[in-house]
A and B are shown apart, each in its own frame.
Chain A
């Protein structure tokens, strides 16, 4: 195996999760809804969308930022930052990780965003146009900036390690996890990794309409049908996840309560220019991530797909998977069919969901597919499937040609715990798997 080796072969593991998604507040709530296939897509309630062609979204319902954050932070933060700050707190608590002044250089922060704080930005621009420049908030200077979540997380927790922000549209959540792994390998013991987005405001919606990738259907049950015969586009959503990525040895030394899993491979590619006739770069990203993880396609137990819900994009992804795994060669799922496409939040949430799926030994379903498109040759999981999951591949694509792939391996400890607690799941899973 050749390739760049950055520093010692440090293992990067996930030790904490903070989830804020349409499917639930907190990892437990999210996983319960996701495993049960409870979709959270509905009519947009955050603003009057009745005059827009797109009227559905995956919204986080009962989240009141003032319940979770000091009032000092509310006037200076967009909703996407409020969500990220709260999810960060939950992730740190989950990892039982505390920052003290002596180790503030030991914590890195990597976040991804696809839009920035659009709701905040729109409000201030409206004030600029209607009431004049003197009324625009001083906090506008950073609150709608792409990198704001990295800054606010660093400031709130007084962190001084490596900090960065990645902007690769929907691929960003995975790119952030990949970069966190790189930082850990380069010697940063712990990295807070966030992919959280929210731009459910007129400006956020309108900016996505010209892509032609959003479904204009009004029925939440049929709007977003990834890999479905009558797919017409995706649905937007808000939220995402924060992951604590740590050096495995450092995590062991401090007695981290749990290891969700290890990030064993990551690769990112760009698509060729439109009209080149060459195939898209998604399959190449997946193959490179597998090679880097030193695993064969046969070792992958499940794929969390990008699942655009746009026929051409779904076909391209299905073909990439078929080329790598053979026809129907691996269970494929897209739990984002329950939340909508969360922008930079999607990849981070999929990684969290994949790690939770490993613990439970259950592949969560892709919902609302309708009739699967028969030409795609996919083993699409449309009902939760019991399966021992040791290794998972997570894929994401962003507009502009971004592709990213992550290979995850379940932590031995949770896997063994699960097997001990739920002794027959292995057998049932094996039966299911042999039938594919």
Chain B
């Protein structure tokens, strides 16, 4: 079961990094690369920090940099839950 969903990600990204002109986050964006959605590496770091605080999960900066789509981000966060509990 996923503890962290793509809707959580969208909400947090909107709050902490805003939404680019001409991008609809409500669409099917799971596989769209972050740079096409208007998010750069700093936006991802900012998002990761917020997810860490809200979901009490550790997301090392070095690993966040390898995540390139929202779907991969969600999988990465849920994988970290498992790693921490395991």
Q: Which residues of A contact B (CB under 8 A)?
A: 70-76, 134-135, 137-139, 141
For A75, give its contact among B17, B21, B38, B53 (CB under 8 Å). Answer: B17
B46 lies within 8 A of A138 (CB): yes
**Which chain B residues in 8-32 approach chain A with CB under 8 Å?**
14, 16-21
Residues in chain B near residue A75, CB distance under 8 A: 16-18, 46
Looking at the complex, which one of A74, A134, A137, A139 makes contact with B52 (CB distance below 8 Å)? A134
B37 to chain A, nearest CB (A): 10
What is the CA–CA distance of A73 and B45 in the complex, to the nearest angstrom? 15
Interface 0/1 of B53-85, CB less than 8 Å to A: 100000000000000000000000000000000
Interface of B toward A, CB cutoff 8 Å:
14, 16-21, 38, 42-43, 45-46, 49, 52-53
Chain B residues, CB < 8 A from A135: 49, 53
> What B residues does A141 contact at CB under 8 A?
42
Q: Are B53 and A72 in contact (CB under 8 A)?
A: no
Q: How far is the CB of B49 from chain A (nearest CB, A)?
A: 6
- Interchain nearest-CB distance for B20 vs A (Å): 5
- The answer to whether A137 touches B46, judged by C-beta atoms less than 8 angstroms apart, is yes
Q: Which residue of B lies closest to A137 (CB)?
A: B46
> Number of A-B pairs whose CB atoms are under 8 Å?
38
> Interface majority SS on B: helix, strand, loop or mixed?
helix
Q: Which residues of chain A come closer than 8 Å to B19, judged between CB atoms? A: 70-72
**Chain A binding surface, main DSSP class:** loop
The answer to whether B18 and A72 have CB atoms under 8 Å apart is yes
A residues in contact with B16, CB < 8 Å:
75, 137
By a CB distance below 8 angstroms, the chain B residues around A134 are 49, 52-53
> How far apart sit A73 and B17, CA to CA, in the bound complex (Å)?
8
Q: Residue on A with the closest CB to B20?
A: A72
Residues of A within 8 A of B53 (CB): 134-135
**CB-based contact A139/B49 at 8 Å:** no
Whether B46 and A73, one on each chain, are in contact in the complex, defined by CB atoms closer than 8 angstroms, is no
Q: How far is the CB of A76 from chain B (nearest CB, A)?
A: 7
Contact status B18-A73, CB under 8 Å: yes
Across the two chains, which residue of chain B brings its CB closest to A141?
B42
B46 touches A72 (CB 8 A): no
CB distance from A102 to the nearest CB of B (A): 22
A71 touches B46 (CB 8 A): no
A74 close to B18 (CB less than 8 A):
yes
User: Complex Cα distance A135/B51, Å?
Assistant: 11
The closest CB in chain B to the CB of A70 belongs to: B21
CB contacts (< 8 Å) of B46 on chain A: these are: 75, 137-139
Distance to closest chain A CB from B61 (angstroms):
9
Q: Contacts of B21 on A, CB cut-off 8 Å? A: 70, 72
Closest to B41 in A: A138
Measured between beta carbons, the chain B residues less than 8 angstroms from A72 are 17-21, 38
From B45, which residue of chain A is reached at the shortest CB distance?
A138
Bound-state CA distance A74–B46 (Å) is 13
Q: Which residue of A lies closest to B39 (CB)?
A: A72
Q: How far is the CA of A70 from the CA of B16 in the complex (A)?
A: 13
Contact of B42 among A70, A73, A76 (CB under 8 A): A76
7 interchain pairs (CB within 8 A)? A70-B18, A71-B18, A71-B19, A134-B49, A135-B53, A138-B42, A138-B46
Contact, CB under 8 Å: A138 / B49 = yes
> Which chain B residues border A138 with CB–CB below 8 Å?
42-43, 45-46, 49
Using CB atoms, name the residue of chain A closest to B37: A72
Considering the complex, give the chain B residue whose CB is closest to the CB of A72.
B18
Contact partners of B45 in chain A: CB under 8 A: 138
Could you say which residues of chain B place their CB within 8 Å of the CB of A139?
42, 46
Across the interface, which residues of A come within 8 angstroms of B52, CB to CB? Answer: 134
What separation, in Å, do the CA atoms of A135 and B43 have in the docked complex?
A: 14
For A76, the chain B residues whose CB sits under 8 A away are: 17-18, 42-43
